[in-house]
Structure 1
Amino acid sequence: MNQTANLNRTIVDMLYEEAMLLADEARDTFRDAAQERRRTGTPLHEDEDLERIALSCEALRTTTRMMHALSWLLNQRAHFCGELTEFQLRRHGRLPRHQPDSDPAQLALLPAHLRDVVERTRRFHARIARLDQAWRDHFAMHPAAIQRLRERVGLAMAG
């Protein structure tokens, strides 16, 4: 039962495809929202300046988040193609850790479909961050943590 998982080329390629589609969708969605706002001149909120700032900030955060994920995936792909050694990948292929959270007040100024894109890119980046951490830990299983979780579940079910 002491098996370990690992990344493989198929997983990375599938994630890369998903990332490209999501990045394209995010770019198009933010671009279309900005163009629509300019075309109609109709603000979504009473304070047009706050709306414009929110749109710009969230577009930048979303783009940055996806570019970091894509960069990590491209480094993994380069490793699988033999262009990077594992040492190089571990040293230089790190996913940047801190991603600033969106300001809830700014998010509230955006339409629901934009907030949805922001949330999906945030979740995708979190998946990549978990994979990066697991890869750096050599996909080591932590039986003690799993056992503690089982014990908590058992106590909750018994009570």
Structure 2
Amino acid sequence: MLRFTFDSHFQRRLIDSLYAEAMILAEASRGYFDGIGREERDALGPVQRVSFSCESVKVTTRLMHVLTWLLTQRAVDAGELHWTEARLPARRLARSPESDMRQVGQLPSRALRLTQASIDLHGRVERLDVMADSALRTMSPVRLLQARLSRAF
């Protein structure tokens, strides 16, 4: 999908690197929110406990959106999915759930760091998704037609 912007070797390395980062962040988040984070949450006031729980869901949601997008890119790279199919709305990167940074700032430091890391990762992947659109717009009409025809047959 990004093949019009990057050479395929660079694209593969970039996607693999982001995938590894997302998996590490997902594991760290799971470990925290299911482990010591529960103890830290229980020590918070009622409003902060709700905020903590909401942020844990938002972090997980962001990471699942990122991982889904990256797996789609891997499928394109492996030839399992045509790049034009990867641009369909259902396969695009889903929006990141919004976080109120004032509330997030009142959470334990590790919850804050995980939330910020998930927002940052989603933002970087979102920029790649937008870049792919830019590459698609710069394609000639003939290439777009060829892509549609190759997908049809």
Query: Which digits, 9 at most, give the CA deviation of each residue in 1:83-124, with x for residues without a partner?
Result: 101121111421113x23212342133111210111011001
Q: Percent identity?
A: 37
1:93 aligns with 2:91: yes
Q: Would you say the 8 A contact 1:95–1:132 is kept in 2? A: yes
Matches within 5 A, 1:77-116: 77-91=74-88, 92-97=90-95, 99-116=96-113
**C-alpha deviation, 1:140, in angstroms:** 7.9
Partners of 2:84 and 2:136 in 1: CA distance: 16
Q: What is the distance in 2 between the residues matched to 1:104 and 1:18?
A: 23
Unaligned residue ranges in structure 2 (runs of 5+): 139-153
8 Å Cα contact 1:30/1:55 also seen in 2: no
Q: Whole-Å Cα distance in 2 between the matches of residues 17 and 83 of structure 1?
A: 21
Larger Rg: 1
User: Does 1:135 pair with 2:99?
Assistant: no
- 1:135 is displaced (CA, Å) by 1.3
Q: How far did 1:51 drift?
A: 2.3
Runs (5+) with no aligned partner, structure 1: 142-159
State the distance in 2 between where 1:139 and 1:90 align.
9
Work out whether residues 5 and 139 of structure 1, in 8 Å CA contact, stay in contact via their aligned partners in 2. Answer: no
Equivalence for 2:5 = 5
Alpha-carbon RMSD = 2.2
Match of 2:135, SS?
coil
Distance 1:13 1:54 in 2: 32
Q: TM-score, normalised by structure 2?
A: 0.76
Equivalents in 1 of 2:49, 2:114: separation in Å? 17
Q: Which residue identity does 2:31 align to in structure 1?
A: D
Secondary structure of 2:75's counterpart equals helix
* Matched length: 131
1:24 counterpart residue number: 27
Q: Moved runs in structure 1, 4+ residues, more than 4 A?
A: none
Q: What amino acid sits opposite 2:5 in the alignment?
A: A
Partner-residue secondary structure (3-state), 1:138: helix
